[in-house]
Each structure stands twice: as structure tokens, then as C-alpha cells.
Amino acid sequence: MRALPNFQQVDLIGLMTRYFELAQREADNQLLLVKNGKIRVLMATFQQVYRRLLAESRILAKAPLTVEDYYIEFFARAVINLSVTWLERGMPESPRLMGQKASRFLLRT
């Protein structure tokens, strides 16, 4: 998510694709955190960045659920758990496909 240029807006597929690109680049570090019981570091970082992107109106068509209690925690855990499973499987799908899958799962389409 840090790869987004300043002031660029992105839809959920674009956001998730960028997240999976980052996860792919940082696969060794992310898997090391998971192995050492530090998955909460990934979740907390994801939540912090997501909240900032929402506050800066950088996410297009944000769901009304984003203001609901526990939504961001649910969202972060879903994405992080999906990405960890993908990393553990050796990243057989492209980050773009994983971004599409995550978006479809989260939007239930």
C-alpha cells in the first residue's frame, strides 16, 4: 500500500492487488513474522495503513461498513489470513488474481 503515489485513488481490486504485490516482495519477512507468532504485527500494520487511506479519501467507493465497529479488524484479518495462506502455498496465483479474489470475497460478488 505504500506503493500508491500521493493523492492517487484506488478501487478495492487495485488496493488488494498492490497489497499482494507487497506481500510477494516481502514474502520471506512476512512468513518469518508468522512463524514467530507475530501475525498481529501484519494485522496492525494493515489496519493502520487502511485507516489512513480511508481518512485521506484514497479508496474509491468505500463501503458504508467501514464506519461500523469491528469492520476494519474483520477486513484486515481476512486479507492477512488469505495472503499468508497464499504465501505458504508458494504464491501459485499472481498478485492481480489474488487482488481480484480478495475483492470478490470481501464484496461477496
Q: HEC string of 1-44?
A: CCCCCCCCCECHHHHHHHHHHHHHHCHHHHHHHHHCCCHHHHHH
**Burial group, residue 90, by CB count within 10 angstroms (0-12, 13-18, 19+):** exposed
Query: Which residues of the chain carry a pLDDT beneath 70?
Result: 1-7, 61-66, 109
Give the start-to-end residue ranges of the domains of the chain. 12-107
Q: Report how far apart, in Å, the C-alpha atoms of 74 and of each of 4, 9, 77 are.
A: 23, 23, 5
- Show Cβ contacts of residue 49 under 8 Å, excluding neighbours closer than 6 positions: 1, 2
Give the pLDDT score at 68: 80
| Residue tagged 470475497 (cell numbers) | 105
Give the pLDDT score at 43: 96
Give the pLDDT score at 3: 57
Give the pLDDT score at 74: 93
Give the pLDDT score at 60: 78
